[in-house]
Amino acid sequence: MSASTALHTDRYELTMLDAALRDGTATRRCVFEVFARRLPGGRRFGVVAGTGRLLSLIRDFRFGDDELRFLRDEKVVDAATVAWLADYRFAGSISGYREGELYFPGSPLFTVEGTFAEAVILETLVLSVLNHDSAIATAAARMSVAAGDRPLAEMGSRRAGEDSAVAAARAAYIAGFGATSNLEAGRRWGIPTMGTAAHAWTLLHDSEEDAFRSQVAALGAGTTLLVDTYDIRRGVETAVRAAGTSLGGVRLDSGDLPTVAADVRAQLDDLGATGTRITVTSDLDEFAIAALAASPVDAYGVGTSLVTGSGSPTAGMVYKLVARQDAAGRWVGVAKASTDKASKGGRKAAFREREDGVATRELVMVSDGFDELDTATEHPTARALQVPLVVSGDADTSAEGPAGVEAARAHHARVREELPVRALALSRSEPAIPTVFVDVA
């Protein structure tokens, strides 16, 4: 199987390329921009995720023999276009928000500059990565806000496709989760992994106590025992008898969690297991986690809701042409004017204005020209949001791999501190800060 990502695209991108090569517009310099018109689910902020892995995928966006043969056999494009694709390598430049950064409606979070031909065919790959990963990261950030200082573990692999499960674990870690159950995510991205035993382990043995003693023998008394296969109260008693009062933790995966957690905490304390932690893992989302804030819960494991974006499985981002050169080589801003789908033409420079360290608005400077964009010098009290990601085809490798994940996680933790308090509420509302566009004369 080819490692190429070139066919992770929609057919119409290649038919546009085919036509552009025919009429001579393929070499026009263009600027494409990724942004979200609105935040899904009435959320108050979004989290950019997927950038680091996207850069690697763009590097692998090459048409090898297998891909070219398919295009020829299916008559997707003509022979001249097949020949052009054989030498394809993205040689343009990309700037964007750092991974882990917050975004709002209209934020120019990923900008692709190059010829029409080389930039247009990246659309589907770019959107499939950023829409998925940013949706997961945004949901994870909301869960992290709800959890406060209590740790979160991602455990939703069985509720997602095999590849999207790995991407979801990565996005969740960037946005505040501390571990994943997915071993491939641990291997590929350096994310801490966790997990002990499922209900099948208890059901395998002749008694619950046999299962617990065997697990303790293998993993030590500091392990976490799943105590709700049968009767929870009896399970807790058996767990402490098997591991002693130094038992690391118990996990609850069913029942009315606030009530059950309180009862289990009291029982553990009565048994002398005062240091034993309680982890809950039953169909949690940000609202269920918030409802457990006053309960004696020490950690959360989240699955289905997290890897499906907690009701918003896509970030709703679009990839639009916002500037191009005309036949005379002059730069012009272009925009879509469709009802409810309008875009803002022109190249953009984005800044986050703050007051006493708290974000107040997203300021986006817009220019039809190519060399007239503001820099940080013009906005000394604001934070510049865009950084170079690809320069003349060469990607910033510091954004890739496990090191890139750690950098994105640290960046997210820093920038989330800038959010106003109202942004941390879970209820549906307008974005936490407005996006203001200013046209540069």
**CA–CA distance, 423 with 39 (Å, rounded to integer):** 13
Report pLDDT for 301: 98
How high is the pLDDT of residue 305?
Answer: 98
pLDDT the model gives residue 47: 98
| 150: nearest Cα among 43, 50, 288, 272 | 288
Q: How many residues does the chain have?
A: 441
State the helix-helix crossing angle for 79-86 and 11-23, rounded to 10 degrees: 100
Other C-beta atoms lying within 10 Å of the C-beta of residue 395: 19
Distance of CA 53 to the CA centre of its chain: 10
The pLDDT tens digits for 182-217 are 999 999 999 999 999 999 999 999 999 999 999 999
Separation of CA 393 from chain center = 24
For the chain, helix, strand, coil in percent to 5 are 40, 20, 40
- Please give the helix or strand (H or E) that residue 171 lies within, else none: helix 162-174
What are 299's strand-pairing partners? Answer: 279
Residue 32's nearest CA partner among 96, 98, 82 is: 96
Tell me the backbone φ, ψ of residue 360, rounded to 5 degrees: -120, -30
Q: Residues 114, 92: contact at Cβ < 8 Å? A: yes
pLDDT tens sequence across 225-234: 999 999 999 9
What is the rounded (10 degree) CA torsion for 84, 87, 93, 97? 100
What is the pLDDT, as a whole number, of residue 339? 85
Report pLDDT for 1: 43
pLDDT tens-digit readout, 278-337: 999 989 999 999 999 999 999 999 999 999 999 999 999 999 999 999 999 899 999 988
Question: At 54, which helix (H) or strand (E)?
Answer: helix 51-59
Domains of the chain by range and CATH? 11-136+312-439 (3.20.140.10), 196-297 (3.20.20.70)
| pLDDT by position in tens, the chain (length 441) | 458 999 999 999 999 999 999 999 999 999 999 999 999 999 999 999 999 999 999 999 999 999 999 999 999 999 999 999 999 999 999 999 999 999 999 999 999 999 999 999 999 999 999 999 999 999 999 999 999 999 999 999 999 999 999 999 999 999 999 999 999 999 999 999 999 999 999 999 999 999 999 999 999 999 999 999 999 999 999 999 999 999 999 999 999 999 999 999 999 999 999 999 999 998 999 999 999 999 999 999 999 999 999 999 999 999 999 999 999 989 999 998 888 888 899 999 999 999 999 999 999 999 976 667 888 888 988 999 999 999 999 999 999 999 999 999 999 999 999 999 999 999 999 999 999 999 986
Cα–chain center distance at 221:
35
pLDDT of residue 180: 98
- What number of other Cβ atoms are within 10 A of residue 388's Cβ? 12
What would the 3-class secondary structure string for 248-293 be?
CEEEECCCCHHHHHHHHHHHHHHCCCCCCEEEECCCCCHHHHHHCC
